[in-house]
Structure 1
């Protein structure tokens, strides 16, 4: 079990009181997973963490995991310092410990932290100092483990740690919040996160707990993938929603799988605190901003090098060799990647083709085109 840090009583200073956001306590329904909030910070993180815990209700029903950049050679006092800001237990994360609702877990010095099946796992860093990205590592594991129950938060700090992983949280239907850069002591991490286009809220730290609490109390979270959120007329609502989106995007969403579209619609409804598809349809008709946000959610640009291993293995073994062999020096191999996102897939294909050209000793050039739908 995780070790609970001592909580020295503050002399002459009463613990700050908190006004509950709603009267209903949020907890994971039945044996469902506990929503987990992963908070990443670097320079200026202690103040941001303290402000967050000052505002969060002690019975909101989520677990909180704090991942920050810390000197690996010194004992961390972060857990003890933050325990003064909340009535929740604040503990240093230990290996093989199961997360519990209304608990706060802090990454220990000189460790990597991941979550798998709701359990925290510690490991020794293998990267040299200066290249370690513990926030990205944890948030990626959070996205894969908890899906829509994953909430990513980026706070004060320098650099871009966390920015790569928040796309994956959004892809898995979780939500991402970022501290207002003008409020942060160091705005590098917030601004880099915002630049990804995968952020749902940019707000002062004190406003984050209310957003998170309302989100985890929505049926989309309480019932897992809320199949009944859209009501009996889900199919009719879906068709009408697609019709509205046609006015805001050149993409034909009729070709998308219904399941994919419904998950994205339900996610936007959760962010808007709506449970009725008719109400959400009316909002889309009245709000061009919300329609664009839904389009952006559906087109979320999540990618990585050789991301779909089976697909790239098939291309390498069954397509690229024949393609290279069939081209002479005067006829370049031309490839188009129509959905390139941030480019990793295009570069992955280029590497495979260049390696095959070298292996076959062919004097062939490569022309690779990559495009992505322009967003409003």
Structure 2
């Protein structure tokens, strides 16, 4: 990884005017290396270098193989190759006939995310289609910064709009504003330093941080006070720097008067990043050690029940569905119910649509799986009906809403790490209550059951798979109780909580049955 930021810039139709404006506003010294990926016919000689040089205050050159990246330089990808990063140098990958017209911006953003991680920057400018959206999500997942041109200022808004719809764009700005922001990003500390500064700013500006949390709750009804202070502070700190503000108090004032910034910060904190078959070894372990335990219960009326908590845009839920179908193969397949929930309305909408770009699929799926489980549609690939009908997606606040019950498996990966330890402990207790006896819990690579106090036993420690123990648990919301004097309340017993969840699940079952099988109709009150 280079010790300076590398900004990947993706542009297509209408991109030339945007690029000229960007370079006109970029200062000579930013400390950032820029790499441009522009859609061009493979047999077309690009004149971009000659067109951009006159308006730039930094060197502009066509990228060549094994060029050493330097800050304050602008590299243009040639028309007949893809660009990848490798050990601080540019590598050109010649395009085959089959690759012509493919998602070249996504391909570079993925490479950028792998190599630069938190020092990666993805910028999506004017263009048609959706190239860049999937790769931008990868940059976001790696801890990098993401920008999209304000669609209202773009000659063609398809690419920036597609990027924004991922929910992973940190900043939606005009071209001059993007240039200004890029000139400031070297002031954004690296991840470790950023965390230290975030914690420092959180404690030094505790009152202002609380004001930010109150503003978010009033606007979105999401209580981010359950998140670790460093998680909040780190993201706020980055936005303070990029917006050129003086501190937490100034940012709180800025936030309170700008609904678009409120939405952007909310999306930043929800951290909606995922991919198909993320951490393949975890799915191999499920197939080897967990799914076989589901077979003895086959009785025709006893479904396999799975809950994917924090499902983002659906890739995890669909991956589990696909892996279960592969496990059962040509044999008898039980009824499979996968409940997938998330706080993000955008994520749930995408999951329900079941449509993904080619690049999103190629991140974790083989051609065999794509052919078996997806159908080509106009705007990408749609998950097939059999897999889609196994999954029910719903918006849910995991911390305060009732859970599902009598589950065989819960997958909650890369969510607990962002929450305070007390909330983690309550969620683990909730998961224990929601699972059947002997049910399984799958966590993320950086998560553990340390705060579960004997509720789970390790089944595969390396892949973070645990089995529910026989320890008795009761249901209570994972939301911590308010501070201050209060009257002692008896612990909620299992029976009323189960009745509440049973009612909730009955309503969900009625909704599914009516939506799928009942004719359309209206009720008239005379």
TM-score (norm 1): 0.79
3-state SS of paired residue (2:342): coil
Structure ID, larger Rg: 2
Structure 1 counterpart of 2:55: 85
Aligned counterparts of 2:259 and 2:17: Cα–Cα separation in 1: 37
The alpha carbon displacement at 1:83 in A equals 1.5
Q: Does residue 321 of the first structure (1) align with residue 310 of the second (2)?
A: no
| Partner Cα separation in structure 1 for residue 90 and residue 311 of structure 2 | 34
- C-alpha distance 325-148 of structure 1, shift in aligned 2 (>3 A): same
Q: How many residues align?
A: 344
The alpha-carbon distance between structure 1 residues 40 and 261, as it changes in their structure 2 partners (threshold 3 A), is same
**Which residue pairs with 1:4 in the alignment?**
none
The 5-angstrom pairing of residues 340-359 of structure 1 reads: 340-358=311-329
Higher helix residue share: 2
Measured in 1, the distance between the counterparts of 2:161 and 2:257 equals 30
- The answer on 1:57 being equivalent to 2:24 is no
- Which of 34, 39, 64 is 2:9 aligned to? 39
Decide whether the 8 Å contact of 2:32 with 2:72 is kept in 1: yes
* Structure 1 unaligned spans of 5+: 1-30
- 1:301-336 deviation digits (Å, cap 9, x = unpaired): 111110122322221211122123432222222222
The alpha-carbon deviation at position 136 of structure 1 amounts to 0.6
CA distance in 1, matches of 2:296, 2:85: 46
The equivalent of 1:273 in structure 2 is: 244
Tell me the residue number matched to 1:368. Answer: 338
How far does residue 270 in structure 1 lie from its aligned partner after superposition?
2.6
**Scaled by the length of structure 2, what TM-score is found?**
0.58
Q: Would the aligned equivalents of 1:113 and 1:122 in 2 still touch at CA under 8 Å?
A: yes
Q: Which runs of structure 2 are paired with 1:92-241 in the superposition (5 Å)?
A: 92-125=62-95, 128-129=98-99, 132-216=102-186, 218-220=187-189, 225=194, 227-228=196-197, 230-231=199-200, 234=203, 237=206, 240=210
Per the TM alignment, residue 149 of structure 1 is displaced from its structure 2 partner at its CA by: 2.6
SS in 1 for 2:200: coil
**Cα distance between partner residues in 1 of 2:7 and 2:168:** 16
- For residues 190 and 179 of structure 1, the distance between their equivalents in structure 2, rounded to whole angstroms, comes to 6
Taking a change above 3 Å as real, the CA distance of residues 355 and 189 of structure 1, as seen in their structure-2 partners, is: same
Correspondence list, 1:295-334, <5 A: 295-334=266-305
* Greater CA drift, 134-143 or 246-255: 246-255
Judge conservation of contact 1:346–1:370 (CA < 8 Å) in 2. Answer: yes
**How far apart, CA to CA, are the structure 2 residues paired with 1:84 and 1:294?**
37
Paired residue secondary structure (1:317): helix
State whether residues 229 and 276 of structure 1, in contact with CA within 8 Å, keep that contact through their aligned partners in structure 2: no
Q: CA deviation at 1:124?
A: 2.5
Other structure's SS at 1:176 match: strand
C-alpha distance in 2 between matches for 1:250 and 1:318: 40
Q: Which has the higher contact order (CA 8 A, sep 6+)?
A: 1
